Structure 1
């Protein structure tokens, strides 16, 4: 059946005003102030007084689980379908992190295909924190070029005691291989960069850009809200045209130790004149949130939440005076554009029918559609993962 969403105020993410939106064949078929279809094979969704938003694009999720810094029993669980859909997330980019031994690329790829079968869109990064980069086909170029779901490499760790302590030449080679692969396959070929809390901050990225022909836009540093010093370093990176991603999953101890909440960080960067096209938020969902003592010993562990992405969007709008357009841009169109996913992160004719219908007064999620299929209704999941009870 076709679906006709009637009378919602549409943020695409730009404000299109009140529109009717017609969905069919997993895509947006039409957008107009009034679409009149009354056939029995058209399902009408009355949305007067509500807002219609694009499905969120989460550019960093540990869909297969992560962690392990405290031993095998501390490996975090896999992401489930409803972990994403209940937070309006309809596209996820899966990654490995610290653990690329018991967490593997074949398992990551299988999980991405499983999420697709369950109803949302999933892509992956090849590689992990470590250098030399772990791959499926022997090298980064082949992985990105020949494996449909691999759109980049990462998250490669820098400025962190858990990283392989790469040098500029090593990082430049990874970026060059990913860039060429992206050109060959029509993909982003992006290099996702995990930035730790070492005082080096983004020094290595600046060195690589200064010493190679690879532009700053080939790198996608995340966790840029880790502390105020790193946020300040982000301003210099943004002036080179580089992207900045802030992480929405956090905990009270991280904040007490100086982490800036993602919504606040987004507002700050916008106030400093960084274009929203260079700014994104991601959840780091299902990653471990480790707490280390001064000697690098693990003393605590929590789990990142994909739903924190939508919560941060709401917080940016409701508490930090960020416009709905800018806040939404950072979790939809910005990551979709950076990752070269032209059918995602927007409401437009021909785009995938990934949509979130929310109450205008409080931004509470009412319905979520992924590729035209209703996944959430009245804030409750109506499509669950294969093994959900």
Structure 2
């Protein structure tokens, strides 16, 4: 069956004006004005796009799809993600990773969950490894995992400048980056090193030391949680101007904001004001991770759970509260991550791209419909496809 979306205002993420979008075999077949399709014997579903914007499906470069280890003990291990946690909020592509806990949360379990979510409709990729160094892998090395396991596109989230990490040396991080880079080159992937950046005053100095002392380009690194403070965000500006994309975390809490963390939308607005190109900032959800709140002595005083929907919420906040142009905000939630991670058919609306499409209402930006790989997961603001073991609230 073909699907024809008629008359939506298309952001690709650049504004293309009012267009029709033809979906065929899981991809976008055409985007043009007044498309007319008449193929004898072929069923065509026509969707009225009047009053709607068409956006690329959101790309989330970090989610903990199997849940995370809670820093408050075993009873605070966070729950796994469900399909509708993403689909109902326009997120069609996610990259899964492990965090603090790589003991009870494992790579095989994450890989199995990734395949399960793909079967239900999403596109899921994975990082090998976790916070810790030496890196935990499936096949014995970062290079082998990236080369031989299709879903593994990089390594992460490797922790630096954080009391929960393994405090890797310059030589160790350089070797990890080299392994990921060569594995990526040999398998046609980016082989990115996705970095969890903590609160330590060292900030990104370890990354600078690697790139200054070894033949590792800055574009091999992708740091997240860069909105942890205004100081950390600004610490990355010189590297962003050299081509590195900085990722900011959409999931947050009132407590963290009160301690100086910036919302993702505020971080984007600040970076733009400071002269950073809009192509160098992405939003991730940190979905289903634990969001711990530590006091000055490092004692846990609170913990909440990251939400995949936060990417959508941060996009809306950027547009409505900070008057950021829709196209610029869309780059932060779609094309920037897709480009930097090497996901060539993701993050944009174009002929030949995967048919990951989000229709939102013009007046409210509320989500109306979502397609992922040409499959309609949401329609009329309601889930049309639910997780295999979904239970009504």
* TM beyond 0.5: yes
For 1:99-121, what per-residue CA distance to the aligned partner results, in whole angstroms no more than 9, with x for missing partners? 00000000010011000001110
TM-score (norm 2): 0.98
Map 1:199-278 onto structure 2 (within 5 A).
199-278=201-280
Find the aligned partners of 1:230 and 1:261 in 2 and give their Cα distance: 13
TM-superposed deviation, 1:240: 2.7
| Distance (Å, rounded) in 2 between the aligned partners of 1:187 and 1:277 | 20
Task: Give the match for residue 124 of structure 1.
Answer: 126
Q: How far apart are 1:196 and its partner, in Å?
A: 0.3
User: Which of 360, 363, 366 lines up with 1:364 in the alignment?
Assistant: 366
Q: Which residue of 1 aligns with 2:379?
A: 377
Q: Taking structure 1 as the reference length, what is the TM-score of the superposition?
A: 0.99
* Range moving further from structure 2, 192-201 or 271-280: 271-280
1:337 is paired with a residue whose SS is: helix
Residue in structure 2 matched with residue 30 of structure 1 by the alignment: 30
Please say which of residues 40-49 and 162-171 is displaced more in the overlay: 40-49
**1:38 offset after TM fit, Å?**
5.1
Q: How many angstroms does 1:236 deviate by?
A: 2.2
Is 1:339 matched with 2:341? Answer: yes
Post-superposition shift, 1:225? 0.3
Q: Give the C-alpha shift of residue 346 in structure 1.
A: 0.5
2:234 and 2:30 map into 1 onto residues whose CA distance is 43
Aligned position for 2:87: 85
Q: Secondary structure at the match of 2:22?
A: strand
Please state whether the residue corresponding to 1:161 is helix, strand or coil.
Answer: coil
Alignment correspondent of 1:164: 166
Q: CA RMSD in A?
A: 0.9
Unpaired segments of 5 or more residues in structure 2?
none
The aligned counterpart of 2:9 is: 9
Partner of 2:179: 177
Equivalent residue runs for 1:315-334 within 5 Å: 315-334=317-336
2:60–2:91 contact (8 Å) kept in structure 1:
yes
**Contact 2:69 / 2:104 at 8 angstroms: preserved in 1?**
no
Deviation of residue 37 (structure 1)?
2.3
TM-superposed CA distance for 1:243, in Å, is 1.5
Residue 73 of structure 1 aligns with which residue? Answer: 75
Structure 1's unaligned 5+ residue stretches are none
CA distance in 1, matches of 2:286, 2:38: 43
CA-CA distance at 1:229 after TM superposition: 1.1
Deviation of 1:230 (Å): 0.5
Residue 275 of structure 1 and its aligned partner are, at CA, apart by 1.6
Contact between 2:371 and 2:378, CA under 8 Å: does it hold in 1? yes
Aligned to 1:46: 48
Q: How many residues matched?
A: 389
Separation in 2, partners of 1:337, 1:241: 12
Return the alpha-carbon distance in structure 2 between the equivalents of residues 293 and 51 of structure 1. Answer: 43
The CA deviation at 1:316 is 0.5
For 2:145, what is the secondary structure of its paired residue?
Answer: helix
